[in-house]
Amino acid sequence: MIALLALIVVVVVAAAWLWTPDLKRADLEARYASGPADFIEVAGLRLHMQDKGPRDAAVVILLHGFGGSLQTWDDWTKLFEPTLRVISLDLPGAGLTGADPSGDYTDARGMVVLLALMDTLGIKRASLVGHSMGGRLAWQFAAAHPDRMSKLVLVSPDGFASPGFEYGKTPEVGLSLKAMKYVLPKSLLKTSLAPAYANPEVMTPELLTRYYEMMIAPDVRSAMIARLEQSVLQDPVPILSRITAPTLLVWGDRDAMIPIANADDYLKAIPGARLARFPGVGHLPQEEAAHPSGQAILQFLAS
């Protein structure tokens, strides 16, 4: 009995020590938003966004990946905004947007939100830049709404099933992932993020803190788990073949998350698509090689 009580005490103490509560929204908004103008009511959401650059310029909308936030685009935004109207947003379930009241984190819901954002801002056509999960949303939107597209940029996009995954099948989310809702040490996040960078020096303490704080924003972890549970991949080839917008693929050749070998699948499926390859760069060229990759996109958008 004494041994059992001792074990219970150890478990309770460990749980209390490891428990990771959400940060307070007011504190996060004070640090990462410039004010009320950064938020807009769209499709039942209070969407966190930034809208920079000349209002009469061509529009580019930036869509971040899983576990990311609009800050991932900071360097590209500075590069783009002198000549382009640059709109970035925290997708539903991410960053300061937080949980979607609908509970729907499917790509179909993402397209509804994106279309509603464009309509609310009076944007008839835009170029989309999507990274990883945001790339999957971008190419689906391009296929479904060709009349709203100018050009398409896919940065290490998600969409083709990896070995061990199947199309049309609901994924199983393990207990270890579900546990992050309650326990998420910063050291564990650092270990999880490390493979995204070919150069480990890019992940500075400040960058890690930003990712960490955006992930423990109110209800974000629950939303991430729900998104994983709702992410049923479909064979992308029939969808990709319908894309008519000029398309550029941007990929680091040391991407350990979605290997550059996947680029061949997109090049075969999307009519006229071309590839900008960046040597020695990992999964986040917008952070790891911001200037050369951003310049390549600028040239593509201006061509």
Q: What is the DSSP string of 91-150?
A: -TTSTTT---TT---SHHHHHHHHHHHHHHHT-S-EEEEEETHHHHHHHHHHHH-GGGEE
Provide the pLDDT confidence category of residue 206 given band limits of 50, 70 and 90.
Answer: very high
User: Which amino acid would we find at residue 268?
Assistant: K
Q: Is the pLDDT of residue 9 over 70?
A: no
Q: Is the pLDDT of residue 13 over 60?
A: no
76-80, 169-173, 217-221: segment of lowest average pLDDT = 169-173
Q: Is the pLDDT of residue 12 over 70?
A: no
CATH number of 23-161+168-302: 3.40.50.1820
For the chain, give the mean pLDDT.
Answer: 92
What proportion of the chain, given as a percentage, has pLDDT over 70?
A: 94
Q: What is the pLDDT of residue 164?
A: 66
Mean pLDDT of 290-296: 98
* Three-state secondary structure call for residue 199: coil
Q: What is the pLDDT of residue 1?
A: 41
- Which backbone phi and psi does 58 adopt, to 5 degrees? -60, 145
Q: Is the pLDDT of residue 106 over 50?
A: yes
Q: Is the pLDDT of residue 239 over 70?
A: yes
Mean pLDDT of 276-291: 98
Domain boundary assignment for the chain = 23-161+168-302
Q: Is the pLDDT of residue 259 over 50?
A: yes
